[in-house]
Structure 1
Amino acid sequence: MTLKDLARKLGISPSTVSRALHNHPDISDRTKRLVMDAAENTVISRTRLPRA
């Protein structure tokens, strides 16, 4: 699963997923938890994760 797939599944943008995974301060704690929970239950292709 790619970052885009995870975003589509959660109904949020890929950039929001990326920011949540990188603990960006502008992302709410609720969204971070949502993304982290989904990511823990999903195998994300590391080759497709954006680089910070």
Structure 2
Amino acid sequence: METYDPHKNTTEVRQANSRKMNSRVLAMSLIGIVIAFVVIYIIYSIAMPAPSN
């Protein structure tokens, strides 16, 4: 992989991504983690026995 190219423009030099795929991956990962924690919480809540008074 070539690391230096004098013919690159400013967008290519700073490695901008015009499709914003990084943002999509981060957003989908965050949504996935939140859903996972919600599912774990629901399962934990269902599995807990009722308090005996």
Structure 2 length as normaliser, TM-score? 0.29
Higher RCO (CA < 8 A, seq sep 6+): 1
Higher Rg: 2
